[in-house]
Amino acid sequence: MAALFARISAPFYSRTVFARAMSEAKVLVTRQVPDSFIAPLLQETSIKVIPGGRDAMPKQKLHEMVRGVDGILCTLCDRIDESVLRAAGSSLKVVSTMSVGYNHIDVEACKKQNVAVGYTPDVLTDATAELAVALLLATSRRLFEGALSLRMGQWGSWDPTYMLGKGLKGSTVGVMGMGRIGQAVAKRLLPFGVEKMLYSGRAAKPEIDYADFVSFEQLLERSDFIVVTCALTAETTNLFSSEQFSTMKNTAVFVNVARGEVVDQAALVQALKSNQIAAAGLDVMTPEPIPTNHELVQLSNCVLVPHIGSAEEQTRLMMGQLAARNIVAALKQESLPTPVPGT
Ligand code: DGY
């Protein structure tokens, strides 16, 4: 492939070679998506799109389907590791995920093989922040529990102590991971009358003047609401475990819209069962989908939604199109609109 790149970049006949490379370009889109999502790919007559199916592609099938492709447009359900890169072979030039998280891609392996990697930051920030706020309120104000109680005919009459929850006014909110999504969540929560906004992470961000940077320990101890928006990395895997839950207030509400693996789920179950913390609202968990007989699903102080942070019509359209534009750019040997940092 390096040789092909060298030939393509030779200035005097690059157009001819490029036309040939593009005429052969095959792109696997691992999931069935509306045409509008991948319009930038479909508009390129020199790109052949190989569509995936309705469900996530099993590993074996992925290995078969990637053989000889130039690009892979994937989702967070597809683990793009060395074995997939090997199965694709030297034709592969770009992996583009329709997600802001890219923990499912072995970025180092891609770099070693000169495979460009794209992702979709920014376009999903608002939708994910909106969902985080909705989930926080649904959890703290016990919306699902209340709705279920009504459906089950358990709603007697108006009761002074029925379904009491916790409000945001005068509270301290802690955001773990004050990146794009964390900041969008914080800005949306402040108008609810939050008294103190805290955040923790790798380093303080001087441009953030509406929240205080604190140690992780401080965040755990002081927050009434904790919202997790950090990326999943080796450092953040199982970041929230027994010790962290026992450091939190008994009244704390824990919300995770990042990745399930940031939480030691068994420890969370224990913390919720023993009322070490008050409640949890989770858009992400392990595994996904979580079995319906999982303990977490049975707990009345846990609100679970099926990883829908970015599931908003315009957002998904923009994510699809950006992922497609990353592929087209890479195949044209142009800079990707949104390459994964460090690639
Ligand atoms: C992402 O993009 O990483 C979200 O988890 C799904 O949209």
Taking only the tens place, the pLDDT of each residue in 175-233 is 999 999 999 999 999 999 999 999 999 999 999 999 999 999 999 999 999 999 999 99
Is 34 domain-assigned?
A: yes
Is 340 domain-assigned?
A: no
CATH number of the structural domain spanning residue 110: 3.40.50.720
**Closest listed residue to residue 86, CA positions, set 107, 106, 63, 103:** 63
Interaxial angle between packed helices 180-189 and 125-140, expressed in degrees from 0 to 180 and rounded to the nearest 10: 50
Whether residue 320 sits in one domain with residue 285: no
pTM of the model: 0.92
In whole angstroms, give the CA distance from residue 199 to residue 172: 10
Whether residue 55 sits in one domain with residue 36: yes
Closest residue by Cα to atom 3, ligand 1, is 101
Judge if the beta carbon of residue 140 lies within 6 A of ligand 1: no
Whether residue 138 sits in one domain with residue 281: yes
Is 85 domain-assigned?
A: yes
Whether residue 82 sits in one domain with residue 170: no
Judge if the beta carbon of residue 310 lies within 6 A of ligand 1: yes
- Give me the half-sphere count of Cα atoms (radius 13 Å) on the Cβ side of residue 191: 5
- Do 336 and 330 touch, CB atoms closer than 8 A? yes
Whether residue 215 sits in one domain with residue 87: no
In whole angstroms, give the CA distance from residue 47 to residue 25: 5
Taking only the tens place, the pLDDT of each residue in 90-123 is 999 999 999 999 999 999 999 999 999 999 999 9
Q: Which residues pair with 25 in a beta bridge?
A: 47
Closest residue by Cα to atom 4, ligand 1, is 99
Whether residue 276 sits in one domain with residue 130: yes
Range of the domain at 35: 2-121+313-331
**Closest listed residue to residue 240, CA positions, set 282, 203, 259, 268:** 268
Whether residue 182 sits in one domain with residue 61: no
* pLDDT for 24: 75
Q: Ligand 1 centre and the CA of 24: distance in Å?
A: 31
Whether a cis peptide bond, with omega within 30° of 0, leads into 287 is: yes
Whether residue 292 sits in one domain with residue 327: no
In whole angstroms, give the CA distance from residue 20 to residue 22: 5
* pLDDT for 8: 33
Specify whether the backbone of 333 is left (phi greater than 0), alpha (psi in -120 to 50) or beta: left
Q: Ligand 1 centre and the CA of 315: distance in Å?
A: 11
| pLDDT confidence band for 66 (50 / 70 / 90) | very high
Is 143 domain-assigned?
A: yes
Counting the structural domains of the chain, the total is 2
Judge if the beta carbon of residue 340 lies within 6 A of ligand 1: no
Residues serving a catalytic function are 307
Whether residue 243 sits in one domain with residue 116: no
Whether residue 133 sits in one domain with residue 256: yes
Judge if the beta carbon of residue 179 lies within 6 A of ligand 1: no
